[in-house]
Structure formats: C-alpha cells, structure tokens
Amino acid sequence: MHLKNNPQSVPRRHGRRWEVGMRLLSMTRLQSAERSSGRGPQAAPAVRAALARCALACVATALSLAGQAAAAPSADAESATPPSGLVQTPSLQSALIYDAEYPFIDYSGNATHNDISRVQEELASGKVRLEYREPRGYLDSLLQALRISPTSQTLVFSKTSLQTQIISPETPRAIYFNDDTYVAWIQGTQMIEISTMDSALGTVFYTLGERTGVPVHLERETLRCLACHDTFSLQGGGVPNFLFLSSYTVDNGQVQTNGLASETTDRTPLSSRWGGWYVTGKFGGLLHLGNIVPPDTSSIVPLASVNRGDVPNLDKFFDTRPYLTDKSDVVAVLVFAHQVDVHNLIIHANYKSRMLLERKSPGSSATQLSWRQLPPVTQARFEELLEPLVRGLLFVDAAKFPTPMRGNSGYTKWFESLGPFDPRGRSLRDFDLNTRLFKYPLSFLIYSKGFDYLIPCVKEYVYSRLAQILTGRDTSPAFSGLSARDRQAILEILKATKPDFARVAAGARFAAAVPLQ
C-alpha cells in the first residue's frame, strides 16, 4: 500500500491524525534504513510492528472520518438500516482482507455470536432500554445490559483509541469488562467504544453514539479498528485480536516515557507493565510503570523517583467524580491482560485450524471431524498450531509475582463469585495474588463461548493434552511449574465443571506427538 503524504486531501479537523500517521510511517522507514546500513538501534520486530500499526491506525481513522464527513447518509441508506438498529459500515466490508483469506469465517458478515448481538436483540424486543444520563450518557445502562460490574473499571491515559485527542492524564479512558466484552468511555466523548469476543469471528468492534433525541444505534466498526487490532496490520496473514499495551519501557531502573508501546502478556514481568495506566491497590513495594504521568521536560526518569507506592484511590491525580469509581483496581488490570492474552490464542486457533482444513477440503471446517479422522500430516500441523493455546491456558512461563497484590474496588469478590464451582466449592476463578494470579493455574476462559466454538477436533486435542499434563503422563520441562497438588486440583475441578472435558479425558488414549519443548 502506498500512501502519499497529502494532508490537504483530508478535512482540517482530521488532518492531525493523517499528519501523525505519516510521521510514524516515516519513522518506520528511517528505522529500516538504519538497520540496513548498520546504524541506529536494533528495534525489536514487535516494536516495529506496533509502530506501523499506530501509523496505519492514524491514517485509517483520518480517511474513515473524512469519508464519513463527505458523505451524509441518503434516505435510501437510512431505510436500509436493519430493524435491530445495528448499523454495518457497508463501504468498508468489501475492503477487508479477511474476506479473501478466510471466506469460511465471513468476518464482514453479521456478527451474531457475541454480547452486543444479544443486547441488540433485547433492545429490539423492548426487553432492554438504554437510558441517557449525565455525566456518562448511555454508559451506566449499557454496562447493566451487558452484566459488567463497575468494579471492573480500569483507567488508561495513553493515547490508544479512536478518540486520542480527548484522552489525557486528567481525562483517562475508562474500560469496563466481563469475560468477553470491553466497554471504553471518555469524558466529553461523542461515542462509546466497544470490543467483544464473537465466538465465530473473533474480535469485533462497535461504537455507540452519545446523542439524545435520535435512535440508539450500535454501529459495527471494521477497518479503522483493525488497523491496530490485526496481528499484521491488515497486511495479510493476520487475525483480529485484542490489545493490552504498556506505553513505557524500563531499562536499568530508568523509565522511558516517550518510547513505543509494547504488548503485555502473562509472561511480561510485573515491573514492565502498566505504562500509561492508573493502578490502585496494594503492591507490596513493587516498582512498576503504572501511575507515572509523563514529565514535560524529560523522556527518561529514574523509576524509583516516580514510583507512587500503594495507591488507594486516584483523587490526587484527577477529578474522579465523573467516573463510576475512583479506582483502577490492580486485580482487574491483571485479569484484563490475561484475558486478552488467552482470547488472542483462541482466535488464532479458530482461524488457522479452520484454514488448514479448508485448504485440504473446502467446507470441512464446518463438519464435526474428530481427531482420529484427521490425516497424520494434518494432526502434526494441528499439534504445532495448538500447543501455544495449551500452554497459555496453563500459564506456562507466566511471570511470578515478586510481591503480593491486593485490589480495593470489590472486583476480586465479584469475579470470584461467578464460578462455576466444584462440589468442594473450588473454582478456576479463585485468586492467589501472592505469587501468581490464580490459585489453580488453568484459565477460566476454558468455559468461554469462544473456546466452546472451536471445532471438535481442536477441543479434543486441547482436552487430551490437558489430561496428559494434569495426570502426570506428560513430564516435559515446560510444565514443571505445575505441582502435583496443582495438577490434581485442576483435574478434579475440570471434571466436575466441564462435562465435555470429562468425556474426552476418560477416553483419551492418543498421545500427541512429541510435545514441543
């Protein structure tokens, strides 16, 4: 794709996004030239990819907004709005590379396997009504309709959004979430941003206009969100994903606040997390990147000099009254990052496993193939593809907590109450928070609709691998961090709360080829 640096072709109010995007793209080219000539820092591939995604996001947003401003909807377009009030952006559908690479997914088609689709049906039937109330517009009633607790509030002031111009340390973006859906709200916003896990499509995006006197519309978003939320920036071969970024980096105790954002996973050390985020609770003296507002004069500061210690609330940072709480609970932030990590593994497994089957036999990804029905060559490909999901579910190589973590918003109690529970009252949602996130290290997202939607042979492989590991038949070093007590407890909880796992585990005789080391 060739982009000409011509901000005059974009209306003035969107030209800033264009300008920023082009500058970032120029930086990317400069870094590439420096690497080729042997000059300059050797930026990591993930960092370069993040830079490119940010650049494309700015440009795509500018182009999208410019197009919207230039073309007011006609009467015909208005009458074509679906009865449910859900608006698809038709001009973007045909441009999606997914439609060519994964036609069996039908990403541009109707997204019907997610929380927003459910709420939209309830709105259409009159079962649910969204009420506009100041100062947060539709936010409160939307969270209630989505069954999202206000205690899940996390606050981020890095400029990572469609509405970067109104995000600041004084007006951070609030994100509320449950197991599948993330709702983002900013003071003074004209729209609420939503991302949700669609079991069939993966990450899908919506916006809800914050306007009174007009019908409530949840509008499907595609290109301007996927410019960042695709693993390869829509350059081909990627899949839609969620993002949890840290905007700062730390090296030898020095924090760089104007560097490139990096993705946070379960494996990221806690000392390298939360740059650009507010975090409340007790941290046991941990030095981390949260609650650090970028200085005006220097981009590099000693971490110890800006660390805030335990932060009970955020009243000293900004006016918290417009928000649902004065917290950005550390436990909620930790769960948020874990969910994003595992959701992305599930999405990747769904897209790529179906692609492998479709390449061999078109239409086969829609069939109920069992593991034994797969040819040996396909089984070997699946093992390579799915082993990262198995490891992610089991928190393999997850960063240890150097100090205990304690939240203070009520999120811990709310989250643990969701279950499901085994006959002894145990749950995969039970927290540890002393040396690791969960007491029983197997992700609760094994209960998610996204996981359940995986094709049968994929789930059969994952279940069988879990049975091998939890019963001790797999003694490979990768899983040595799981104690015998952990394995036994997880196995008992899974058998009691996940019937399809119990069935597969009882009859699991096949051994996955040599586990990846």
Tokens 């799915």 belong to: 386
460 within some domain: yes
pTM above 0.85, yes or no: no
pLDDT, tens digit, for every residue of 476-504? 999 999 999 999 999 999 999 999 999 98
User: Is 80 exceeded by the pLDDT of residue 29?
Assistant: no
Q: In what order do the strands lie in the sheet with 300-302?
A: 249-251, 254-256, 300-302
Which range (10-19, 413-422, 426-435) has the least confidence?
10-19
Residue with tokens 């003694």: 475
Q: Average pLDDT for residues 162-171, to the nearest whole number?
A: 89
377 secondary structure, DSSP code: H
DSSP letter string, 304-350: HHH----BS-STTTS--TTSS-S--BHHHHHHHHHHHHHHHHHHHHH
Based on the fold, state whether residues 271 and 351 are members of the same structural domain: no
> 357-378 burial by CB neighbour count: b if 16+ within 10 A, else e?
bbeeeeebbeeebebeebeeeb
The reply to whether 47 and 118 lie within a common domain is no
Residues 372 and 493 in one domain: yes
Two tokens, residue 464 = 């069988």
User: How is residue 484 written in tokens?
Assistant: 């015998």
Of 46-60, 219-233, 465-479, 498-512, which range is least confident?
Answer: 46-60
126 inside domain: yes
The domain boundary residue, chosen from 38, 70, 102: 70
Please give the Cα distance from 293 to 174 (Å, whole number): 16
- Which residue did the predictor score with more confidence, 45 or 345? 345
pLDDT tens-digit readout, 310-323 = 999 999 999 999 99
| Three-state DSSP class for residue 397 | coil
* pLDDT at residue 210 tops 80: yes
pLDDT beyond 90 at 393: yes
pLDDT in tens, 146-162: 999 999 999 999 987 78
- Same-domain pairing of 140 and 62: no
Give the pLDDT mean for 34-42: 35
The token duo for 260 is: 């490139």
Judge contact between 227 and 57, C-beta under 8 A: yes
What would the two tokens of residue 337 be?
Answer: 């990052």
Same domain, 20 and 48: yes
- Out of 288, 306, 324, a domain closes at 306
> Following DSSP, what letter does each residue of 60-107 receive, concatenated?
HHHHHHHHHHH-PPPHHHHHTS-TT-EE--HHHHTT-THHHH-TTT-T
Residue 239, sorted as left (phi over 0), alpha (psi -120 to 50) or beta, turns out to be beta
Distance between CA 229 and CA 268 in Å, rounded?
20
96 and 125, same domain (yes or no): yes
Average pLDDT of the segment spanning 366-372? 88
Least confident interval from 120-124, 243-247, 510-514: 510-514
pLDDT tens-digit series, residues 47-94? 444 444 454 444 444 444 444 433 333 333 333 334 344 544 443 443
Domain membership flag for residue 55: yes
Residue 20 lies in a domain: yes
Per-residue pLDDT band at 508 (split at 50, 70, 90): low
Q: Are 369 and 456 in contact (CB under 8 A)?
A: yes
Residues 280 and 394 in one domain: no
Q: Which residues contact 508 (CB under 8 A, 6 or more apart)?
A: 463, 464, 467, 468
Distance in angstroms (rounded) separating the CA atoms of residues 430 and 494: 14
113 & 141 share domain: yes
Q: What pairs with residue 133 in β-bridges?
A: 137
Residue 316 lies in a domain: no
Q: For 159-298, where are the E strands, in sequence order?
A: 173-177, 181-185, 191-198, 202-209, 218-221, 245-246, 249-251, 254-256, 262-263, 277-278
Of 378 and 13, which is predicted with more confidence? Answer: 378
Among 23, 42, 70, the domain boundary falls at 70
350 and 496 fall within a common domain: yes
Quick one: which of 90, 142, 310, 115 has its CA closest to 196? 115
Mean local confidence (pLDDT), 427-444: 98
Q: Judge whether 500 and 463 are in contact, CB under 8 Å.
A: yes
Query: 498 and 352: one domain?
Result: yes
Contact 494, 501 (CB under 8 A): yes
SS3 (DSSP) at 55 = helix
Co-location of 439 and 370 in the same domain: yes
172, part of any domain = no
**486 and 354, same structural domain?**
yes
Q: What is the pLDDT of residue 511?
A: 43
Q: How many CB atoms lie within 10 A of CB 388?
A: 14
Residue 200 lies in a domain: yes
- The answer to whether position 413 is within a domain reads yes
**Residue 212 lies in domain:** 85-149+180-226
Buried (b) or exposed (e) across 253-278, using 16+ Cβ within 10 A? eebbbebbbbbbbbebebebbbbbbb
When pLDDT is averaged across residues 397-402 and rounded to a whole number, the result is 96
pLDDT at 280: 98
pLDDT of residue 295: 72
| Position with higher pLDDT, 425 vs 57 | 425
How many domains does the chain divide into? Answer: 4
- 262-312 pLDDT, tens digit each: 899 999 999 999 999 999 999 999 999 999 987 754 678 888 888 888 999
Using CA atoms, how far apart are residues 507 and 157, in angstroms rounded to an integer? 50
Percentage of residues of the chain with pLDDT beyond 90: 63
